[in-house]
Amino acid sequence: MTIGERIRALRIQKGWTQGQLAEKMGYSHRSTIWSIEAGKNDVTSSTVAKFAEIFGVTSSEIMGWGKPLQDDEYALIEEVCQDEGMRKRLLDYVHKLKEIKDAETS
């Protein structure tokens, strides 16, 4: 799926027209959105970031890098970030994973 196709899918998921999305993005006409969705216009990193902000997703999701997080996964991340003990255990786990990866690539 291309960036344009992902933007189109997100727009449709929100129930927005191309004109409505163009307005949210600060474009004067819907043809810019049409061109992006059709793959006719290149999308800069700052434009990707603005689309992500408007859609409430990450730039990585717009780019198609990795699977988007589910609501329960966001909730778990928030819970871990608010609990100091859980945060420490998670960081310990990440450091162990890094050690394993470094040992395998040596």
H-only helix segments in 38-83: 45-55, 59-63, 71-82
* Same structural domain, 8 and 53: yes
Looking at the predicted structure, is the pLDDT value of residue 67 above 80? no
Residue 58 and residue 9 share a domain = yes
* Cβ 78 vs Cβ 89: under 8 Å: no
Tally of domains within the chain: 2
Q: Are residues 81 and 36 both part of a single domain?
A: no
Looking at the fold, whether 16 and 56 belong to one and the same domain comes out as yes
Which range of residues forms the domain containing residue 77? 71-105
Confidence of residue 102 (pLDDT cuts 50, 70, 90): confident
Which span out of 27-31, 67-71, 91-95 was modeled with the highest average pLDDT? 27-31
Mean pLDDT of all residues in 51-77: 82
Question: What does the mean pLDDT of the chain come to?
Answer: 88
As a whole number of angstroms, the distance between CA 92 and CA 80 comes to: 13
Looking at the structure, tell me whether residues 53 and 79 fall in a common domain.
no
Give tens-digit pLDDT for 15-41: 999 999 999 999 999 999 999 999 998
Are 48 and 75 found together in one domain? no
Q: Assign 8 a pLDDT band (cuts: 50, 70, 90).
A: very high
Residue 69 has pLDDT above 80, yes or no: no
SS3 102: helix
pLDDT value of residue 46: 93
Give the separation between CA 15 and CA 30, rounded to whole angstroms: 15
